[in-house]
């Protein structure tokens, strides 16, 4: 039963839309379709179903570059 709940939860998280910087544009993509090295725009209070590395944080803009 726990495995089924985990599977369902993983599918929901992987199907969620994220915002990836591609060719200088921000495009929507499913989390499941992101790859190592993609640059993502993480919005305020957005749940992130992945491990990330913060590259840049701009406090005055309330922004961070996360990989």
Of residues 60 and 45, more confidently modeled: 45
> Residues 6 or more apart from 13 whose CB is under 8 A from it?
31, 47, 49
Give residue 39's pLDDT: 83
Domain-wise residue ranges, the chain: 2-66
pLDDT band at 64 (very low <50, low <70, confident <90, very high): low
Give residue 62's pLDDT: 62
Percent of all residues in the chain with a pLDDT value above 70, rounded to a whole number? 78
């Amino acid at each position: 039963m726990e495995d089924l709940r985990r599977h369902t939860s993983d599918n929901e998280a992987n199907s969620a839309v994220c915002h990836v910087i591609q060719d200088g544009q921000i495009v929507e993509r499913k989390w499941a379709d992101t790859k190592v090295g993609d640059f993502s725009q993480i919005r305020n209070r957005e749940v992130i179903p992945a491990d990330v590395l913060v590259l840049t944080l701009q406090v005055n803009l309330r922004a961070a570059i996360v990989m």
